[in-house]
Structure 1
Amino acid sequence: MILDKIHQFNFPTTIRFGAGAIQELPAYLKANGLSRPLLVTDPVIADLPFFKAIVADLEAHHCSVIVFSDIHKNPVKSDVYKGTAVWDENSRDSVIGIGGGAALDVSRAIVLQVNHREDLFKYDDLIGGDVFVTNDVPHFITVPTTSGTGSEVGRSAIISDDVTHQKKILFSPKLMAKIVIADPVLTMDLPAHITAATGMDALTHNMEAFLAKNYHPLCDGIALEGIGLVRDALVKATLQPDLESRSKMLLASMMGAIAFQKGLGVVHSLAHPLSSLLDTHHGLANAVNIPYGMEFNIAGFEDRFKRMAKTLELKKEDGRAVVDYLFDLNAKLGIPHQLRDIGVSMEHIDTLADLAFADFAHPNNPKPVSREDFKALYLKAL
C-alpha cells in the first residue's frame, strides 16, 4: 500500500486520502472563498488534541471558527435543530463535519435544514421527501475520524425521532460533501473497542451490500474489495494499530458506504432498534447481530456466500464457514456473541421486533423478513 503520498479519488465526490491530508483544509477553504466554518463534531472528539489542533490551524489561517458538539451518540432531530440555531446565530458560510457517523449525520442534516426550514422529517426519503430538497445548501466538507459508517462519502443522514425512536433517512444528491478529507492519522488514537465496533460496521455494510437484492455489479465489486480489506486489516488495526492497517480500514469504510447505495438488509434492521431504544453503539449492535443475520440469509443464496468465503480466504467456501468466521472475528476483537451481554433482556424483545420490522433496511434484504423472523433472531442472539 502506498502510504508516502496523498491520493485523490473522484467517486464522484473528491476524496483526498492519505496521511497528512488534514493539513490541506485551510488552503481548501481559502481557495473556495470560505472563512467562517461551522465545525460539527461530537462532545468526545471536541476535547481531543487532534481536533483542537485542527481548530488552531484554521484560526492561524484567519478563519473564524465556531464549534457545535452538543449531539447524542445516536443523533436525534433536536440535535439538528440546535446545530441549525448555532448556524443562524453566528453567520457561517460552510459546514465541516468532523468525526464518526453521528457527527457526520448531524452535520449533513444541518446542511439540509439551513435552507429547508419545514419540519426536518418532511424530507424523509422513505415517504418521498427527497423531492422537497430543492434549494441550495451550504458548502459542505467531511472529515472522518473513524472507519465504520463511511458517512463522509454518502448522500444521506440517519436521524431518529426524539420520542418514537424511529430512524428517518434524509437523502439528496445535494447533501454529498464537496470534498472528503480522509486522513488515517486522525484514526490512530481511536480506542481498541471503538476501532473494533466501527470496523465491524464497515464489514456489515460491505457484506449486506453484496447480498442486497438489487442488481448493481459495480457495488458488488466494491463490496468484495472492502471485505478483503477488512479481512487484512481489522484485527491488526484493533490490537496492534499501524498506519497501514488504519489506512486500509478507512478505505474499507468508504467502500462500504459507496456499496450500500445498492441496499442493506436484515442485520441493519436488527441493529438500528438497539441504538434508538437502548442507545447501543451502532457498530457494536451490527457486530453482535451479523453472524445471526448472515446465517438467516444463507439458504437460497449459497453462491453469494461462496464468493464472500473466497474473498475471506476461508478453507471451506460456504455460508457456514462465513458465519463461523464472523463469530471467530468477534471473539478476536473482544466483542460478545450474545445480546444479553450488551444490555438486552427478554422484556425488550417485542419492542425491538416491532421497531426492526418497521425499519427501512430489510426491504433490500435478499429474502423477506417478517416480524416473527426478527423476534426469532433476537431470541437466538439473546
Structure 2
Amino acid sequence: MTFDKVYQYNFPTTIRFGAGAIKELPAYLQANGLKRPLIVTDPTVAALPFFKAIVADLEAHSFSVEVFSDIHKNPVKSDVYKGTEVWDQTSRDSVIGVGGGAGLDVARAIVLRVNHREDLFKYDDLIGGDIYVTNDVPHFITVPTTSGTGSEVGRSAIISDDETHQKKILFSPKLMAKIVFADPVLTMDLPPHITAATGMDALTHNMEAFLAKNPHPLCDGIALEGIYLIKDALEKATHQSDLESRSKMLMASMMGAIAFQKGLGVVHSLAHPLSSLLDTHHGLANAVNIPYGMEFNIAGFEDKFRRIAKTLELKEESGEAVVKYLFELNTKLNIPHHLTDIGVKSEHIETLADLAFADFAHPNNPKPVTREDFKQLYLKAL
C-alpha cells in the first residue's frame, strides 16, 4: 500500500481513504444533488486553516455552507438541540461532520434529531430506544481529523446529559455515514499531545474490542491488525510525523471503531466518568487508565493477552509484558502514569466509582467489574 494515492474501501460504509481524498467532496455533493450542507465541527477545528480551506473550496463551487461549532469538548444534549435549530433556521439538505469524536458525535446526533423530535434520550440504545429511530435521516458525510475515536465509520453517538453528566448512546444503522473522506493529510498538523491521546484511544478501542466477551471472530482479526498498525506508527506520528505514520494511525482508528461493535470494557468505564465529571480529554483518560484496566483483565484470559503480546512483537508473550509495554508507551508519548497528574483528587474517587459502575461499557468486559473493583482501580491509578 502506498500512501500518496486514494483508495476505496466498503465496510459497509464507502470509505475514500488517502492523501487528497478531501478534494473529492465538492464533486460528491454535486453528484448527489446536495447544495446546502450543514458542517458540524468543534470550535478548535473550526479555527484551523485546513477547515477554512474546506469551506472555501465548497463555496468556490457555489455551495451554500453553514457551519455549526458551538459544542462542548465532551458533547451534551443542549449542543445537539442548538445544532438542530441551526438546521431548521437555515434550510439545510445534508450534514457533514468534520473533526474528532466530539464533532462527529454531535453531527450524528443532529442527523438523528432532524426527523426525530421527541426527547433526544428517548433514543438511548441502552433502554432499547433504537426501535424509535423509524424516520428517514438527512444525507450524512464524515471527515475525520484525528486518529482516535473512529466515529466516522460508526453507527452511534455518545452524548452526555447536561445535568447528571451520564453518557447516553444514540444508535441506529441509519446513522452510518453514506461516505467517509478519510484524508490523513488533515491529521498532519495535530499537536503531539493530541496525536498521543487520540492514538491511545484508538489502541484502547482495538485492545478492548479484542478482549470483549461477545464472540465475533471478524472483529478480533480487525482489532489485532489495528494493534499492529498502532505499534508501528503511534510514536512516530507523535514525534516525527510523516504521511505513512499518519495514514497507519487513521486506518487503525477506523479499524478500532469497526471492531468495538463487539463491545468495550473496563478501561472505557474508568475513562468516561473522567470526561463527564472533570472534562478530561477522552483519549487521555483512556491512556492513563489502560495499563491498570489491562492488568485487571489478565487472570483467566492469559491466552488472549499472549496473542496481543505476539501482535506487539514483545519478547515475552504475556499479559504482564503487555502492561509493561503500555506504561513504557505512555512514557514515550509524554502521557502521565497517574490520575493525580490529570486533575483527579482523592475526594473524586467515590463519585467516579459510582459513575463507572453505571457506565455502559463494562458489561462487555471479559470478566465482571464491581463498584469496589472500580474504586480500587482508581485508587491504584491515583
Q: Distance in 2 between matches of 1:149 and 1:298?
A: 25
Q: Identify the residue that residue 340 of structure 2 maps to in structure 1.
A: 340
Q: Distance in 2 between matches of 1:192 and 1:262?
A: 30
Moved over 2 A (4+): none
Q: How many residues are treated as equivalent by the alignment?
A: 382
SS in 2 for 1:44: helix
Q: Distance in 2 between matches of 1:55 and 1:180?
A: 17
SS in 1 for 2:283: helix
Q: Distance in 2 between matches of 1:126 and 1:365?
A: 16
Q: Identify the residue that residue 246 of structure 2 maps to in structure 1.
A: 246
Over residues 256-281 of structure 1, what are the superposed CA-to-partner deviations in whole Å (9 max), with x where a residue is unaligned? 00000000000000000000000000
Aligned letter for 1:222? I
Q: Identify the residue that residue 133 of structure 1 maps to in structure 2.
A: 133
Shift of residue 109, structure 1, vs aligned partner: 0.0
Q: Which structure 2 residues correspond to residues 1-382 of structure 1 after superposition, within 5 A?
A: 1-382=1-382
Shift of residue 84, structure 1, vs aligned partner: 0.2
Shift of residue 119, structure 1, vs aligned partner: 0.2
Q: Distance in 1 between matches of 2:329 and 2:48?
A: 29
Over residues 285-336 of structure 1, what are the superposed CA-to-partner deviations in whole Å (9 max), with x where a residue is unaligned? 0000000000000000000000000000000000000000000000000000
Aligned-residue identity in percent: 86
Q: Distance in 2 between matches of 1:270 and 1:146?
A: 22
Over residues 4-24 of structure 1, what are the superposed CA-to-partner deviations in whole Å (9 max), with x where a residue is unaligned? 320000000000000000000
Over residues 156-181 of structure 1, what are the superposed CA-to-partner deviations in whole Å (9 max), with x where a residue is unaligned? 00000000000000000000000000
SS in 1 for 2:43: coil
Aligned letter for 2:262? K
Aligned letter for 1:39? I
Q: Distance in 1 between matches of 2:254 and 2:266?
A: 21
Q: Distance in 1 between matches of 2:18 and 2:253?
A: 14
Q: Distance in 2 between matches of 1:381 and 1:47?
A: 35
Aligned letter for 2:8? Q
SS in 2 for 1:109: helix
Mark the runs of 5 or more structure 2 residues left unpaired by the alignment.
none
Q: Distance in 1 between matches of 2:148 and 2:184?
A: 13
Aligned letter for 2:205? H
Aligned letter for 1:234? L
Aligned letter for 1:154? G
Aligned letter for 1:57? D
Shift of residue 3, structure 1, vs aligned partner: 1.4
Shift of residue 95, structure 1, vs aligned partner: 0.1
Aligned letter for 2:215? Y
TM-score normalised by L of structure 1: 1.00
SS in 1 for 2:158: strand
Over residues 117-168 of structure 1, what are the superposed CA-to-partner deviations in whole Å (9 max), with x where a residue is unaligned? 0000000000000000000000000000000000000000000000000000
Q: Distance in 2 between matches of 1:301 and 1:153?
A: 29
SS in 2 for 1:107: helix
SS in 2 for 1:143: strand
Q: Distance in 2 between matches of 1:100 and 1:185?
A: 14
Mark the runs of 5 or more structure 1 residues left unpaired by the alignment.
none
SS in 1 for 2:85: helix
Q: Distance in 2 between matches of 1:288 and 1:111?
A: 33
Q: Distance in 2 between matches of 1:45 and 1:157?
A: 19
Note the aligned Cα RMSD (angstroms).
0.3
SS in 1 for 2:146: coil
Over residues 220-242 of structure 1, what are the superposed CA-to-partner deviations in whole Å (9 max), with x where a residue is unaligned? 00000000000000000000000
SS in 2 for 1:140: strand
Q: Distance in 2 between matches of 1:104 and 1:47?
A: 16
Aligned letter for 1:378? Y
Q: Distance in 1 between matches of 2:245 and 2:3?
A: 11
Aligned letter for 2:105? D
